[in-house]
Every structure is written in structure tokens, then in C-alpha cells.
Amino acid sequence: MFQIYDVAIIPLIAGIVELFKRAGLPNKYSPFVAVALGLLFGFFYIADNVKEAIIVGLMLGLSASGLYSGSKNITKSSDK
């Protein structure tokens, strides 16, 4: 079952995606990596059944990619 403290996985996924990007992953693939990592966390760490694992994994991955793009947009607008 998904607990509220499992939300801490979102910045963890964003950090792992950033590591992949620094290792040479093109930016356009970062949302796919975030969703894949979210699904992996959903299946192996959080959920007890397949439906819940998919839903929670997608939520984690999409939230992590949104966290990254949102923070990137904020830092770009403050650089002007």
C-alpha cells in the first residue's frame, strides 16, 4: 500500500534521471526513464498487486518528470 512518506521517492527518481543525463542520456528520453523508474519502484517497493503497482508507478514517474521540468523552467526564467 502506498504511504504518504513514499512520496520521497519522487525526488529520488528525479535525482537518478539527472545522473543518467549527466552520463549522456539525451534530454528527450528523460521522461521515459522517469516513468520506467517509477514503474520499477511501484512493482518492487510499494505495491502488493499489479494494478496498484502500475498506477502508483506511473504517478511517481510522471510526478518526478514534472518536478524536474518545473524546476528547470523556474531556474531558466530567473536567469533572464
Distance CA 64, CA 80 (A): 25
Hunting for cell 528520453 — which residue is that?
A: 29
Where are the domains positioned within the chain?
7-69
Per-residue pLDDT tens digits for 63-78? 988 865 655 555 665 5
Say what the pLDDT of residue 1 is.
59
Predicted structure pTM score = 0.77
CA of residue 58 relative to chain centroid, distance: 9
Express each pLDDT in 7-49 by its tens digit: 889 999 999 999 999 999 998 899 999 999 999 999 988 778 8
